[in-house]
A and B are shown apart, each in its own frame.
Chain A
Amino acid sequence: MTAKTKTKRSKAQTSGSHGKGKAPLLEVQNLKTYFYTDDGVLTAVDGVDFQVAEGEVFGLVGESGCGKSVTSLSIMRLVDPPGEIVDGRILLQGEDLLAKKLAEMTRVRGRQISMIFQQPKSSLNPVFTIAEQIIEVFKIHENISDEEAKASAIELLRRVGIPDPERKANAYPHELSGGQAQRVMIAMALALRPKLLIADEPTTALDATIQAQILDLMQDLRDATDTAVILITHDLGVIAELADRVAVMYAGKIVEESDTITLFDRPLHPYTQGLMGSIPVLGEAKERLEVIPGNVPSLINLKPGCRFASRCAARQEYGLEICERVEPDLIEMEAGHKVRCWLYQEYEGHTPPLRKGGGR
């Protein structure tokens, strides 16, 4: 199944090389993860390509069901039946993770890629102390003594801002607040200095003032380490805070990708534009919010054409008929800024109403 992805690969390499000249740490090529449900095949991730450079924070943003979490679980090879990775390649420093045996994957997880989740408390084992859980990470992957492991664990807790780490190390998860538990999860994830950290909605379950603390911590860690981060969130504010580059996902596909500042300055895809208009912004109260009508389509038995077509205001505004027939490609509009939309792409018999450097 991987033979046909070769052409895609060379295309991706030429277009994604703006990350400060660094070679990509991670390359996801034509990833397809489907779920074989009783109702039919659910195309949760349907042909996703992106690259993450060393040390960069790459945001994946979208609403529930867009495939952002399944993408991250696919990278970790943690997709359970009825889900299955049916196509694509996931190259970590050139090595295809999808070709690895499960035993080899165990060594990749934690050491090279680690992950933090939305619910830190349910990711910690309630019957072991914090220190025991961090020490376990060291013991599995590194040949060090108990004393060294404990000292390293305490040092890690100090780095992620746990007050009085010597004492807190002996605490059980239920004795931690939500913010502290997320700090512990971050400590565990960074224990082995992984090359890539996947953070799946790391602050969504936290209160506002605690979210600010964790965002602050992640910013400090980003500056202090060279760990790259895939930041998965539904919150464009979190993206604005942390991400260097960002991909917007909709219904299993990336619909727009660019550096973060450009995305906020000139969103090209009607979905991205709609999303930005529908969020209330503090200090900018307006009478009415812009609305994206309708709901995300079911990912079983998708209609042909663009997946956003039925909700798209721009399609109606420009009277485009191609949208419901043919699916657009993710094309590069300007250096590093890609969009998947017929407003910008040519096709036989279709002249795009907006062209390069366009947008609104």
Chain B
Amino acid sequence: MKKTTKRTPLVEVRELKKYYPVHGGLLKRQVAEVKAVDDVSFAIFPGETLGLVGESGCGKTTVSKAILRLEEASAGEVIFEGEDVLAAGGADLKRLRRDMQIVFQDPFSSLDPRLPVGESIAEALLVHGIGTPQERFERVLEVLRKVGLESYHAARYPHQFSGGQRQRIGIARALILDPKFIVLDEPVSALDVSIQAQVLNLLSDLQAELGLTYLFVAHNLAVVEHISHRVAVMYLGRIAEIAPRDNLFSKPLHPYTQALMSAVPKKHPADKKERIILSGDVPSPLNPPSGCRFHPRCPIARMGHCDVEEPQLRELEPEHWVACHYAEEFI
């Protein structure tokens, strides 16, 4: 397959694994492992937004934290501008982290309630020993303006802000070091819809203005579609499908993606929606199903094949990768 332009990824995740030990029994020995992330690989290119979508427990948050080493991965590599983040230590890691920031879902619990927000925002500058107090102060005011807040907000405390404003503060804090890459972990799911739109537009504006690269982690498909250039769908610790946004949403090739899309409530009460209702719940990652992890809920699973052999990601159309033995049926 001919690649039009060979782009160099800003972030490349290779064979990432994160297993959590489960202890039990009298001696509290390790009796099992939860395979929260099990062999995940993808790349994020400069200036793009990669959406990472899936239901709770699929491992999307664990992936995002492992990339920033907020969780130590069990295996794999995360290459950021040619350097392996997971192997970096001490000073190297600190330097890398200047370029990689995160915005969390709950902007309230991620801010120190006893610190004026200006100081919370400036803290990263202090940690990295950047600037004089005066320069730091001015930089704080600059990022506050960038996220649509006023300079007088710097002296206020987190409880004096609304949810949407607090998320703006979270974004300001991520921007203060002038990073190249920001992980956005469910940044709008705690917000009311009218506020959600404000924050989504702000994130788009900042990306255009500052050339930022985003990993946008969320469970809401419509929000992910809105903001992403490419989208990866995760199920039980693995990537089920990854493709450019329009390809994925106009022609989903994995039966799980199709079910996920059909589960979105209709937009108008008069619409007739054919819904694929998946039976059962997401199985436990403690004991994932054999073969394809989706096979017990899959409407097209073939027993004897899908429950035995685990499908690998295959590029069925340009840049459209699917981990399903029978995805050709949907082309």
A residues with a Cβ closer than 8 A to B are 63-64, 163, 177, 179-180, 207-213, 215-216, 234-241, 243, 260-261, 264-265, 274-275, 277-286, 288-293, 295-296
Contacts and interface: CB of A to CB of B under 8 A. Distances in A.
Contacts of A285: 225-226, 245-246, 249
Contacts of B221: 208, 282
A238 B269 CA distance: 9
A263 to B, nearest CB: 8
Interface stretch (B28-36, B120-128, B275-283, B322-330): B275-283
Interface of B: 55-56, 162, 164-165, 192-198, 200-201, 204, 219, 221-223, 225-226, 245-246, 249-250, 259-271, 275, 277-278, 280-282
B281 A180 contact: yes
Nearest to B192: A63
Given A213-B277, A283-B225, 19 more contacts: A209-B55, A210-B55, A234-B193, A236-B193, A237-B265, A240-B266, A241-B266, A264-B267, A274-B194, A275-B193, A277-B197, A278-B197, A280-B225, A282-B221, A282-B261, A285-B246, A289-B201, A291-B198, A292-B197
Given A208-B264, A295-B164, A282 B249 contact: yes
B281 A210 contact: yes
B194 A292 contact: yes
Closest 4 pairs (CB-CB, A-B)? A237-B265, A278-B197, A212-B263, A280-B226
A240 B281 contact: no
Interface centre among B164, B222, B246 (most CB of A within 10 A): B222
Contacts of A275: 193-194
A212 B277 contact: yes
9 contacts: A63-B192, A264-B269, A275-B194, A278-B194, A279-B197, A285-B249, A288-B201, A288-B204, A292-B198
B226 to A, nearest CB: 4
B214 to A, nearest CB: 16
A280 B222 contact: yes
Contacts of B249: 282-283, 285
B194 to A, nearest CB: 4
Nearest to A217: B277
Contacts of B260: 208-209
Nearest to B275: A212
A208 B20 CA distance: 26
A235 B265 contact: yes
A240 B194 contact: no
Contacts of B56: 207
Contact of B225 (A216, A235, A260, A282): A282
Nearest to B205: A288
A243 B165 CA distance: 32
Contact of B269 (A261, A295, A296): A261
Of A208, A210, A285, A286, the most chain B CB neighbours within 10 A belong to: A208
Contacts of A207: 55-56, 219, 282
A289 B281 contact: no
Contacts of B197: 277-279, 289-292
B222 A279 contact: yes
Contacts of A237: 264-267
Nearest to B195: A295
A289 B202 CA distance: 10
Contacts of B265: 211, 215, 235, 237-238, 240-241
A241 B133 CA distance: 55
Counting chain B CB atoms within 10 Å of each CB, which of A63, A289, A292 scores highest?
A289
